[in-house]
């Protein structure tokens, strides 16, 4: 472990934070501690580990590394992004209200509306990103949490963290930072209380595990989340913690390439006459481009756009791509393409989808780290093959 980790820069932290050579063997990579329990010298006298739901050395290194990258003090790793979200909601009590951005990851919206209302008696108010500049009009005495994604999924709206952090002192502000990663933005630095991730996406980055993580630097929240993580038990196992810790080492360098490829592809699409509106925070045409420039260091790997096509031709286009694989998910090294209305946001009711702008000709790309020219050729070829 590095001394004074806080003073190191992100690319160094990504490789070293929370990690030290194994004390017994010198192994440079944190081992997979596949142990459920730990021997105690005398009852209650142990080396900091009792039972692996509560603490596991592999998970702990991974949690510390992400916490450090996010400028947080404590991290809690869960079996999925959704179980991280569920644990965060467990900070609340029956009758509490959550204000959330309307353009949310479909699964988060499902957790809120179809599970948390019934199971936990919480209430949810969904508002447009524009209304976040007048949050006081929406906050009531019952409002205990504000939940945003930025950029949002899939319309890539940007929330102003500085402004958000000023809303109601007692309200816990949560940012789902999955789309950006801590290399691009660190919401805790703006006074946000909790950052969460689907580690399945950029943090791990290799499309080979499912995981979630929550980070805070408030010790009161840390205490509660530790209790909830141990009580509910939806922990990240040691094997997946190892994979994610390994993935983190290349996060800074991967994000550089994601940013570069996506910026260039967004410009290519914007010039193409088969494409209507292109949404990417790095484009000058993005309504919040200036805010994105201020708040983000790079604009990420996700691009959304409207084809000038009906549903059939849109499907043909998606099927005609070779390097862009037709699949849900995002944030891996490989490029993916998907149809939000049918795939990732199929669980959102159609009328709401239409209001949000998730129409039948709407396409989302997760731009990977392959060669930029091959990716552009692939899209070019799919335009031709699909008869657009």
Ligand X SMILES: *Cc1c(COP(=O)(O)O)cnc(C)c1O
Judged by the rule CB under 6 A, the positions of this chain that interact with ligand X are 80-82, 105, 107-108, 149, 153, 176, 178-179, 198, 200-201, 210, 212
- Of 8, 53, 102, 125, the catalytic one is 53
- Rounded to a whole number of angstroms, the minimum distance from the CB of residue 281 to ligand X is 15
- Check if 105 is active-site: yes
CA dihedral 264, 387, 384, 299 (to 10 degrees): 10
The answer, yes or no, to whether the previous bond of 360 is cis (omega within 30 of 0) is: no
Pick 104 or 275: Cβ nearer ligand X = 104
- Rounded to a whole number of angstroms, the minimum distance from the CB of residue 354 to ligand X is 21
Q: Are strands 143-149 and 74-78 parallel, antiparallel or unpaired?
A: unpaired
- Check if 62 is active-site: no
- Check if 176 is active-site: yes
Q: Is 205 left (phi over 0), alpha (psi -120 to 50) or beta?
A: left
Buried b (16+ CB within 10 A) or exposed e, 241-258: bbbbbebbbbbbebbebb
- Rounded to a whole number of angstroms, the minimum distance from the CB of residue 126 to ligand X is 15
State how far the Cα of 122 lies from the Cα of 109, in Å rounded to an integer. 13
- Check if 144 is active-site: no
- Six-digit token pair at 188? 């805790």
- Rounded to a whole number of angstroms, the minimum distance from the CB of residue 80 to ligand X is 3
- Phi, psi values for residue 71, rounded to 5°: 55, 35
231 CB neighbour count, 10 Å cutoff? 10
Pick 154 or 238: Cβ nearer ligand X = 154
- Of 33, 62, 105, 129, the catalytic one is 105
- Of 176, 186, 202, 240, the catalytic one is 176
Pick 132 or 179: Cβ nearer ligand X = 179
DSSP-based three-state secondary structure for 367: coil
Q: Which residue is nearest to ligand X (CB)?
A: 81
Decide if 174 contacts 197 (C-beta within 8 A).
no
Pick 81 or 205: Cβ nearer ligand X = 81
- Rounded to a whole number of angstroms, the minimum distance from the CB of residue 314 to ligand X is 22
- Of 64, 173, 186, 201, the catalytic one is 201
Pick 97 or 149: Cβ nearer ligand X = 149
CA dist 196 → 77, 140, 188, 292, 316 (Å): 10, 24, 11, 19, 35
* Alpha helix positions (H), 210-338: 219-232, 238-248, 251-271, 289-295, 311-320
DSSP-based three-state secondary structure for 101: strand
The answer, yes or no, to whether the previous bond of 151 is cis (omega within 30 of 0) is: yes
- Rounded to a whole number of angstroms, the minimum distance from the CB of residue 87 to ligand X is 12
Pick 201 or 383: Cβ nearer ligand X = 201
Task: Write out the catalytic residue numbers.
Answer: 53, 105, 176, 201
């Amino acid at each position: 472990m590095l001394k004074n980790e806080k003073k190191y820069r992100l690319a160094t932290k990504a490789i070293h934070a929370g990690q030290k050579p194994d004390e017994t063997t010198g192994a440079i990579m944190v081992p997979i501690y596949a142990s459920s329990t730990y021997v105690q010298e005398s009852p209650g006298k142990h080396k900091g580990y009792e039972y692996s739901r509560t603490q596991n050395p592999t998970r702990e290194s991974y949690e510390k590394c992400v916490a450090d990258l996010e400028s947080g003090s404590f991290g809690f790793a869960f079996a999925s992004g959704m179980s991280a979200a569920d644990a965060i909601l467990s900070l609340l009590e029956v009758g509490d209200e959550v204000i959330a951005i309307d353009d949310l990851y479909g699964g988060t919206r499902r957790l809120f509306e179809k599970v948390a209302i019934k199971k936990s008696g919480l209430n949810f108010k969904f508002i447009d990103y524009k209304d976040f500049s007048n949050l006081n009009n929406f906050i009531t005495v019952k409002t205990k949490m504000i939940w945003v994604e930025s950029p949002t999924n899939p319309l890539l709206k940007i929330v102003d963290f500085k402004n958000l952090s000023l809303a109601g002192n007692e309200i816990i502000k949560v940012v789902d930072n999955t789309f950006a990663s801590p290399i691009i933005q660190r919401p805790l630095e703006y006074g946000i209380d909790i950052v969460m991730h689907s580690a399945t996406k950029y943090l791990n980055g290799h499309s080979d595990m499912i995981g979630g993580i929550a980070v805070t630097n408030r010790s009161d929240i840390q205490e509660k989340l530790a209790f909830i993580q141990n009580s509910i038990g939806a922990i990240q196992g040691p094997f997946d913690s190892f994979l994610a810790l390994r993935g983190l080492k290349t996060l800074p360098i991967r994000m550089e390439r994601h940013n570069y490829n996506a910026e260039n592809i967004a410009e290519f699409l914007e010039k193409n006459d088969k494409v209507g509106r292109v949404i990417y925070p790095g484009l000058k045409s993005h309504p919040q481009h200036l805010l994105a420039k201020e708040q983000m260091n790079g604009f990420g790997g996700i691009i959304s756009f409207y084809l000038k096509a009906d549903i059939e031709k849109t499907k043909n286009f998606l099927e005609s791509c070779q390097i862009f694989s037709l699949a849900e998910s995002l944030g891996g090294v490989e490029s993916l393409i998907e149809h939000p209305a049918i795939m990732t946001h199929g669980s959102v009711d159609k009328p709401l989808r239409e209001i949000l702008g998730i129409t039948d000709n709407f396409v989302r790309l997760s731009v990977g780290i392959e060669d930029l020219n091959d990716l552009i050729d692939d899209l070019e070829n799919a335009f031709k093959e699909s008869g657009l």
